[in-house]
């Protein structure tokens, strides 16, 4: 019995050090929304509904940028943005955001993280010469006439192929999750990249402690709890 007590005391002494070495993962606390790009918005909405059992609602168009979107709540102040080319902006010449002109099937392409200081974040130096780009204000009008406004970081190209997020600040505007269809919850977001160390370093500079696993190609894997049960979106 004495040996058992002594072993238990030793284990308790060692536990804080073991826990301190465990990697932290603040992704769920940081995420504002996931971006699912699709070649056609209705196709994207239908694919998500078939998977989750919940139909996303139309969000609106992004005038001057080329796409339009639909939204689905994933919990308080977290949502899924389904984004696709806007047919009413068919003459758009420049590449549209989130590779919507290249995507062949609905795919998670990147994610947005919450920030109250987008302007400050874009000034930070990232490994490999990558950059968050510039801080830009944007807005769109919901179908009910409410205008949503935000400031976000706009990189010239996705950082770490979209595994590193862009950042968004909604200010005083209503958060899209509040009015989006509900019933789906984000329970995990896994980050995968061929160079996990470099991605972790970048995220650390940006204030996000995250677990990044090695994979042959960059990927985002979201685990959702839905009326249809647990599903995986990637």
The b-or-e profile of 176-204 (16+ CB within 10 A means b, else e) is bbebbbeebebeebbbbbebbebbbebbe
Quick one: which of 220, 179, 221 has its CA closest to 72?
179
Contact 41, 87 (CB under 8 A): no
Does this model's pTM top 0.75? My answer is: yes
pLDDT score for 131: 86
pLDDT score for 22: 45
- Token pair, residue 4, equals 């058992």
Q: How far apart are CA 152 and CA 126, in angstroms?
A: 17
pLDDT score for 142: 85
pLDDT score for 74: 98
Given a cut of 70, the residues of the chain with pLDDT beneath it are 1-25, 62-66, 90-96
pLDDT score for 28: 92
Go through the domains of the chain in sequence order and give each one's CATH number.
27-233 (3.10.180.10)
pLDDT score for 94: 63
Q: Are strands 107-114 and 134-141 parallel, antiparallel or unpaired?
A: unpaired
End-to-end CA distance of the chain: 52
Q: How far apart are CA 176 and CA 73, in angstroms?
A: 8
């Amino acid at each position: 019995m004495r040996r058992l007590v002594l072993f238990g005391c030793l284990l308790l002494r060692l536990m804080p050090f073991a826990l301190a070495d465990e990697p932290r993962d603040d992704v769920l606390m940081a995420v504002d929304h996931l971006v699912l790009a699709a070649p056609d918005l209705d196709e994207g909405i239908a694919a998500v509904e078939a998977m989750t059992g919940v139909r996303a609602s139309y969000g609106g168009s992004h005038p001057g940028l080329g796409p339009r979107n639909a939204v689905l709540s994933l919990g308080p102040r977290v949502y899924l943005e389904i984004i696709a080319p806007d047919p009413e902006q068919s003459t758009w010449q420049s590449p549209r955001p989130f590779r919507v002109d290249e995507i062949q099937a609905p795919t998670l392409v990147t994610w947005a993280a919450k920030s109250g200081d987008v302007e400050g974040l874009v000034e930070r130096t990232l490994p490999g010469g990558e950059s968050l780009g510039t801080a830009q204000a944007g807005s769109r009008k919901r179908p009910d006439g409410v205008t949503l406004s935000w400031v976000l970081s706009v990189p010239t190209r996705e950082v770490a192929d979209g595994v590193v997020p862009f950042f968004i600040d909604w200010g005083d505007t209503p958060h899209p999750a509040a009015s989006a269809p509900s019933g789906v919850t984000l329970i995990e977001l896994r980050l995968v990249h061929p160079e996990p160390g470099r991605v972790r370093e970048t995220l650390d500079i940006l204030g996000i402690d995250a677990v990044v696993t090695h994979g042959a190609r960059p990927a985002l894997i979201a685990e959702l709890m839905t009326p249809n049960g647990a599903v995986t979106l990637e």
